[in-house]
């Protein structure tokens, strides 16, 4: 993956619009596992959330339950590490599945639908401090970021890719004999750039494939997600 960084707005300003600036959905991360008997209910909740225009729903499969008899075919160690980093940031000593992290800031048990929905409503009502515009031209992705009303602190610009849906026939472990539909399965999550939270930033990168792309701006050290966009 190739990255080019510049402080100029250039062509990105051409596609920025008031509508795009106002469209800032809430990010919901579900930490789940094919080997977790409590997770299918949370997976169904995430599937419902994925249909909402105001939500970016992401399923991150962890690998620490693989020893129970079924190796999760979507699990990546990086997602277990991300969950542990969230726990450290929140000064918590344990991790579990299914866990939901909303907007990088609020935690909930993933199969408690009302709790999750309440957190989404709370974050959707917050004043947004960052304008984020994203456009794809063939294999070129251009990202433009600017603070709206003043500095917001140092942040990381991240790029996420996901598969919209897969069905898995689980033949062992706690969910043996079940066919489970998984939604918005994250396949890759990488940093694109560091942002100082003050001056405007434009990032250009090359991407391939047809899987949806999510761009996140997250406060450093696994702080709150302050802006997000998805290109499906």
**pLDDT tens digit sequence for 163-179:** 999 999 999 999 999 99
Angle at 117 between CA 47 and CA 189, to 5 degrees: 55
Predicted pLDDT at 65: 97
pLDDT of residue 131: 96
Task: Please report, for residues 20, 21, 43, 107, 120, the alpha-carbon distance to residue 224 in angstroms, rounded to integers and kept in the order given.
Answer: 21, 19, 23, 12, 13
Average pLDDT of 63-85?
Answer: 97
Average pLDDT score, the chain: 91
User: CATH classification of 3-231 is 3.40.30.10, yes or no?
Assistant: yes
Q: What is the mean pLDDT of residues 191-210?
A: 96
* Termini Cα distance of the chain: 19
Q: What is the pLDDT of residue 1?
A: 38
Please give the Cα distance from 58 to 34 (Å, whole number). Answer: 15
Domain boundaries, the chain: 3-231
Question: Helical H runs in 31-73?
Answer: 39-49
Alpha helix locations (H) across the chain?
12-15, 18-22, 39-49, 77-89, 113-124
Residues of the chain with pLDDT > 90: what percent? 89
| Distance separating alpha carbons of residues 146 and 196, to the nearest angstrom | 10
Q: What is the pLDDT of residue 24?
A: 77
Six-digit token string for 129: 């401090």
Least confident of 15-19, 130-134, 218-222: 15-19
What's the pLDDT at 104?
98
């Amino acid at each position: 993956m190739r990255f080019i960084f510049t402080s100029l707005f250039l062509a990105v300003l051409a596609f920025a619009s008031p509508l795009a600036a106002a469209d800032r959905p809430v990010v919901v991360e579900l930490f789940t596992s094919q080997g977790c008997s409590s997770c299918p209910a949370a997976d169904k909740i995430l599937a419902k959330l994925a249909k909402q225009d105001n939500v970016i729903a992401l399923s991150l499969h962890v690998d620490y339950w693989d020893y129970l008899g079924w190796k999760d075919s979507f699990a990546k160690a990086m997602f277990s590490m991300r969950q542990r980093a969230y726990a450290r940031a929140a000064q918590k000593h344990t991790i579990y599945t299914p866990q939901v992290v909303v907007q990088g800031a609020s935690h909930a048990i993933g199969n408690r639908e009302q709790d999750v929905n309440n957190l989404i409503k709370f974050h959707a009502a917050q004043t947004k401090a960052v304008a984020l515009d994203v456009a794809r031209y063939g294999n070129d992705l251009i990202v433009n970021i600017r603070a709206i009303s003043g500095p917001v602190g140092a942040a990381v610009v991240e790029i996420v890719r996901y598969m919209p849906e897969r069905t898995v026939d689980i033949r062992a472990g706690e969910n043996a004999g079940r066919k489970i539909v998984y939604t918005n399965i994250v396949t890759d999550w990488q940093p694109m750039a560091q942002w100082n939270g003050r001056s405007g930033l434009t990032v250009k990168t090359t991407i391939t494939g047809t899987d949806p792309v999510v761009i996140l701006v997250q406060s450093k050290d696994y702080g709150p997600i302050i802006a997000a966009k998805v290109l499906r």
